[in-house]
Amino acid sequence: MIPRQAPREGQIGFLYLPPIRVQGISVAGEQTSVSVPEYDIVFDIGLCPRPVISSKILALSHTHMDHVAGLPYYFSQRFFQKLPTGRCYCPKPMAEHLQAMMRSWVALERQETPYEIIGMDPGDEVEIKPNTFLRAHASSHTIPSLAYSVVEKRKKLREEFSDLPQERVRQLRLSGEEISRMVEVSLVAYTGDTEPAPFLYHTDFVEARVVITECTFFDPEHQDKAKIGKHIHVEDLRPLLALWKAEHVVVVHASRRTMLSFARGRLNDVAGERAESVHMLMDFRANRKRLEQQSLEFDVEHPSEISTAENTEIG
């Protein structure tokens, strides 16, 4: 008998949550890497699935193997593809160890792969794009860890001036009056591996447009396992989903043993009314259906663009 072909691995989870895409692979204990191309960022690097290589900013939540194994490969592939050097932010206590690993690779390969590894403390922030900042939060896992938010800072006209005619606003500005104030918009927040901790109630998580959260355990009898491994259990999401204002919550880090239909049922239960805004990154079937629906709706709203697309030859 001819042996069966080896199973295909590494299918990429994909969600279009306008205006962003959330894509990657996340299976607890195996690999987690989730990118948001619009912000040029990837959270964790697992086994470095191909689509995340193009993100220049890598925010590493912690250094368990399933989140960091792809790091040297990520730097190396970016170099190989002539992309600018990737920049990895990580929990500060781990920066020197990651740098030591990269130095070992120089000896192993007899080749200098450029890399940038920068440690962060909770509360630190760095500008990753004009007006867009990566902020570190104190998560709580079995080893040093960080959660992250991507925050846009905008200048907004102060309310007392908002009804004035433009010319008057211009005069005030020229006269040196402080007419604007800074507002922050939390674009996306990523929990990384963590047990329930106060950072989950930080404004950046409460107000985030999209929250990407780990949830490793779904079985009611696995609450102890979640505690020991310092992970989120689906029951922990109940109060959070009631509080987070996110248009979309993306659940990652379910294990391979988790039955998707069971997990989905549990999520629907804890999400209640907002179940439709809660997605599982690795629920390929549901996400494909969702994308097809989005595509249909787009075609109805933009009939002219269908004909253009049909008339355009590929090549």
Q: Which residues bind Zn ion (CB under 5 A)?
A: 64, 66, 193
Instruction: Report in angstroms how near the CB of residue 122 gets to Zn ion at its nearest.
Output: 17
Task: Closer to Zn ion by CB, 64 or 78: give it.
Answer: 64
Q: How far is the CB of 116 from Zn ion (least distance, A)?
A: 23
Minimal distance, residue 249 CB to Zn ion, in Å: 18
User: Least distance (Å) from Zn ion to the CB of residue 23?
Assistant: 18
Using the minimum distance from each CB to Zn ion, give the nearer residue, 61 or 149: 61
Compare residues 128 and 280 and give the one whose CB is closer to Zn ion.
280
**Closer to Zn ion at the Cβ: 24 or 78?**
24
Min separation Cβ 182 and Zn ion, Å: 35
The nearer residue to Zn ion, 119 or 192, going by C-beta atoms, is 192
Query: Can you state the angle between helices 71-80 and 92-109, rounded to 10 degrees?
Result: 60
Closer to Zn ion by Cβ: residue 45 or 187? 45
Least Cβ distance, residue 65 to Zn ion (angstroms): 9
